Amino acid sequence: MKKAFFLDSKTKSLSIVPYFLKEVYKKKKYYLLPDNFFIRTLIIFVYTKVLRKFEILISLISKIRITKFNSSKFRYVIFDNHSLGTIDKILPKKEFYTIATRIEDIKEIFINKFIVFFLIKNFFKNSLKVNYIASLIYLIKPEKIITIIDNSFDFHLIYKIFKNENISFYAIQNAYRNEIYLKEILSKSNYSGNYFCFGNYELSSINKNFSQKSKCNVRPIGSLRIELAKEYIDKKYEKKLDEVYDICLISEASSNIFSSGALNELQYEDCQKNNSQLLQYCIRFCKKHNKRLLFLGRNSINSLDQNAKEEELLYYKFKNENLKFDINFFDKSKYDHIKHLIQSRLILGTASTLLTESFGLKKKILVCHWNNEKIEFDFNSSYFPGNGILKLNSTKYIDFEKRVQEILDLNYDDYLSKVENPNTIYNLNFDTLKFLRKEMLK
């Protein structure tokens, strides 16, 4: 697959994307690198190893505030501002302080005698950023530190610093975490804080890989985000939403290749082919059986990236120029994507976290388990727990058609009876919000 190389001026990093997305990334104001390997390599080195650090340093210096840090009234710390909109909904108002942990999100830097002394004293122990975050926590003296970014290395490094302090740590599962990835995340700090996960799969994986003395307090509670969405929708709509779509296909379009957390070139080609084939099968099935299809996009209309829709369309159009379809984007702040899932009889996909969360909505799902084992091992996130009627391994259309029709013909209880150990996927009979809100008040 031909690739295009870009520099992202916002994150100060390299982006490698399939060539068919080249024009979209130019519209997004990414800097296109030359095709010449040696010139491109030189530019990447100078920018990412030299200029990037200089630009970040200048940016951080401009945010410095020499001021008294008022921290006396915060019982909780929300770790990573990307947890906002979720974690804050289970905490008492005005009792939490949010610490931004990503360089691009840090709006101001506090400096006082304690922080300066702490940074100097621990200069060779951790990165400057981790030491700075730790100094703020020492000043705040919170009782609890909570994040939904459970795979944040910074969170686990902070835990390592404070594990002997009187602070309770809570990591709440945010997305797919298979056994290999869970082991990698939690072993970074030999984490023994609280880890609240989707279902029994994560519970058994952690129990298997960590000794009794060192393993964390893991508990399957379902998805916090999906339970908050259900609460919001129940309050907004007076009656139960009707099912208006027969099939909802979850878009799993992606763009970056080789970058951190992204597929390599061969893996990308394989996944793109499988996702495109699944779309073809859904369109073909719905035309043949007169069913209504909703193709649910990955991106919210709230996104600052106005080219997101074009990017997803091109992903599915690649080598399928004549395929006619549209993608439904949503207002994430109003949980419109969850509303669409609730209004669908059957939700399909290959590896999206929304499949697990749809199962938590007590919806019928079908996981087209088509990505090969090597991708699952290397990428650490393509595995989907659970077996039975909800998982299809065959890539043949005739088998796809048969399985989809079978599931559509079943009521929910009969469908669930054909799922092996459903609580492996999601703790279906648990009051997530009641538990978390009570836990936070302890």
* pLDDT band for position 381 (cuts 50, 70, 90): very low
- Superfamily in which the 227-424 domain is placed by CATH: Glycogen Phosphorylase B; (3.40.50.2000)
**Fold that domain 66-222+432-441 belongs to in CATH:** Rossmann fold (3.40.50)
Task: Evaluate if residue 427 carries a pLDDT over 60.
Answer: yes
The pLDDT tens digits of the residues spanning 299-325 come to 766 554 567 788 888 889 888 877 788
Question: In the predicted model, is pLDDT for residue 159 greater than 80?
Answer: yes
Q: Residue ranges of the domains in the chain?
A: 3-62, 66-222+432-441, 227-424
Average model confidence (pLDDT) across the chain: 87
pTM for this model (two decimals): 0.88
Instruction: Find all residues with CB under 8 Å of 11, minimum gap 6, and list them.
Output: 104
66-222+432-441 and 227-424, same CATH topology: yes
Amino acid at 100: A
In angstroms, the Cα distances linking 73 to 140, 214, 337 are 8, 32, 36
What does the pLDDT look like over 47-94, one tens digit per residue?
A: 877 777 777 777 777 777 766 676 667 999 999 999 999 999 999 998
CA dist 62 and 69 (Å) reads: 18
pLDDT of residue 360: 93
Write the pLDDT tens digit of every residue in 243-268: 999 999 999 888 777 555 556 677 78
Decide if pLDDT at 417 tops 60: yes
